[in-house]
């Protein structure tokens, strides 16, 4: 579903209307459901990638926060670096695989063919997941901010999932600082009311 589509023209007013009708404490749940529906309207199978990125960075945030509480400073630093590194590698690996793998393999095949060297590198036949760069970097900004202690770790997986998948920013950003964006979106969402 694109922002300039008829589907979005129907979707958006329904989301806003229900948002203002339901109790403020559960509005984040409605926005999460709406955001996942919005993403799945393009291609439902790629929601697995969005959920995987969300879970990896959520768990990384929890583990980094746990490492912050270790009394031994060397051990604390080691585990913080381990968890942030694993989060970066796994999420950037997913991004590379889906966005850049075919480009690099075809480039290597062409370069080696100039020297009459035949490479048999498999390629993947898939559509590029919509918004993968935006939600990957959005999620990683949170992990890095938890690592730097710029933002408190979110204990609620659902609220964190909303931060990563919020539909107005899912396809085209902006990728904001998680400290500011996360606080205003998830923690203060009940403050948005009609006067």
Q: What is the pLDDT of residues 96-131, one digit of tens each?
A: 998 888 888 888 888 888 888 887 777 777 778 888
130 close to 39: Cβ distance less than 8 angstroms: yes
User: Tens digits of per-residue pLDDT, 22-55?
Assistant: 998 899 999 999 999 999 998 899 999 999 999 9
> What's the confidence (pLDDT) of residue 67?
94
65 close to 57: Cβ distance less than 8 angstroms: no
Q: What is the CA radius of gyration of the chain?
A: 20
94 CB burial (10 A radius; 0-12, 13-18, 19+): middle
190 close to 27: Cβ distance less than 8 angstroms: yes
Query: What is the residue-averaged pLDDT of the chain?
Result: 86
Which value, to the nearest 10 degrees, does the dihedral of the CA atoms of residues 1, 49, 148, 67 take? 150
Residue with structure tokens 């922002």? 3
> What's the confidence (pLDDT) of residue 1?
67
Within a 13 Å sphere around the CA of 2, how many CA atoms are in the beta-carbon half?
Answer: 2
Give the DSSP H or E segment for 120: none
Please report which confidence band the pLDDT of residue 194 belongs to, taking 50, 70 and 90 as the band edges: very low
> What's the confidence (pLDDT) of residue 106?
84
Q: Is the pLDDT of residue 57 over 90?
A: yes
Closest residue by Cα to residue 92 from 36, 53, 51, 39: 53
């Amino acid at each position: 579903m694109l922002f300039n589509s008829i589907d979005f023209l129907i979707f958006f007013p329904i989301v806003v209307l229900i948002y203002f009708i339901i109790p403020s404490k559960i509005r984040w749940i409605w926005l999460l459901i709406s955001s996942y529906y919005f993403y799945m309207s393009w291609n439902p199978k790629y929601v697995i990638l969005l959920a995987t990125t969300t879970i990896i960075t959520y768990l990384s945030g929890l583990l980094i926060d746990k490492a912050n509480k270790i009394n031994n400073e060397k051990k604390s630093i080691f585990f913080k670096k381990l968890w942030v590194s694993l989060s970066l590698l796994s999420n950037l690996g997913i991004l590379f695989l889906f966005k850049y793998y075919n480009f690099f393999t075809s480039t290597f095949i062409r370069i080696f063919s100039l020297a009459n060297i035949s490479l048999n590198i498999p390629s993947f036949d898939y559509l590029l997941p919509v918004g993968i760069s935006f939600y990957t970097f959005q999620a990683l900004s949170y992990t890095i901010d938890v690592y730097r202690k710029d933002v408190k770790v979110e204990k609620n997986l659902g609220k964190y999932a909303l931060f990563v998948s919020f539909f107005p920013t899912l396809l085209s950003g902006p990728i904001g600082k998680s400290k500011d964006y996360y606080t205003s979106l998830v923690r203060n969402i009940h403050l948005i009311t009609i006067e």
